[in-house]
Amino acid sequence: MYLPTQFTEPRTEELHRIVRDNALGMLVTHTASGLEANHLPFLLDTSGGGAGVLVAHVARANPLWQEVRDGEQVLVVFRGVQGYISPNWYPGKQETHRRVPTWNYEVVHAHGTIHVRDDEKFVRGVVGRLTRQHEADQPLPWKMGDAPSDYMAQQLQHIVGIEIRLSKLECKRKLNQHHQVQDREGAIRGLESVGNHGLAQAMHHTAPQP
C-alpha cells in the first residue's frame, strides 16, 4: 500500500493491538477464478517469535480451503478506527479557506503464506482460543465444555482450520499528523461531536509530525 513516512506506524505493539482489537480480517487470495476475499475472525499468535502466525477457520462448504495452494502468498487486511474529517472542523479553514475534506484511518496489512489444517485437534484449539479471547469480558464466559460433547464434535466437522505464517506486518495510521496542532485539535473535537470517539482518541494519542 501507499505508505508515506509520516503515516507509518513502526511500533510492533501497536500493530498487534490493532489486529487483536479488530479481529475480523479480510483474507485476500489468488485462485484460478481470480482474486477472492473472505472475511474471517483471526487470532494472532506471537508466542513463536518472528512476525507471528494468524489462525482461523472456514466453513467446510467454503471452497477457499480447497482452492488455495499450500504455502501460497496471501494478504490479510485489518481495519481499525476510521472516519470522515470535515474541513469545517479546522480553525484554519475560517482564516484562509484552504482546507479540504479527508478520511482518517488505521489499517494493518499482514503478509504471509497460507496452510490448510484439516484436523480436528487444530480446529478444536482454534475455536477454544478464539472463544476465550472474545468471551473474556462476558459476565459468565461461554466455553466449549458448556455444549454437549457429541454436539461439539459434530459442529467441528463442519469447519476447516487455516494457518497463515506471517512474513511481514505493515501499518498505516493516517491521523492528521502533518496538520497544524490547532487543526488536529479541531478535528478531534469534531469527531467527538459526531460520536466517533475511537478515532478521536487515536488522534489524540498520536504525536504530530514536526
Residue 99 pLDDT grade (very low, low, confident, very high; cuts 50, 70, 90): confident
- Taking the C-alpha atoms of residue 69 and residue 22, their distance in angstroms, rounded to an integer, is 27
Q: What is the share, in percent, of the chain residues with pLDDT greater than 90? A: 86
For 6, 68, 153, 156, the CA distances from 149, given in Å and listed in that order, are 52, 31, 6, 11
Q: Does residue 112 carry a pLDDT above 90? A: yes
Give pLDDT tens digits for 145-177.
999 999 999 999 999 999 999 999 999 999 999
Residue 60 is placed in which grid cell? Answer: 467446510
Give pLDDT tens digits for 187-201.
999 999 999 999 999
Residue 206 pLDDT grade (very low, low, confident, very high; cuts 50, 70, 90): confident
State the average pLDDT over residues 53-70: 96
The backbone torsions φ and ψ at residue 71, rounded to the nearest 5 degrees and listed phi first, read: 85, 5
Give pLDDT tens digits for 119-153.
999 999 999 999 999 999 999 999 999 999 999 99
Going by C-beta distance under 8 Å and a sequence separation of 6 or more, which residues neighbour residue 39?
A: 24, 25, 26, 27
pLDDT at 210: 61
- Taking the C-alpha atoms of residue 102 and residue 87, their distance in angstroms, rounded to an integer, is 8
Q: What is the mean pLDDT of the chain?
A: 93
pLDDT at 98: 74
Cα-based torsion angle of the residue sequence 160, 165, 166, 167 in order, rounded to the nearest 10 degrees: -140
**pTM of the full predicted structure?**
0.92
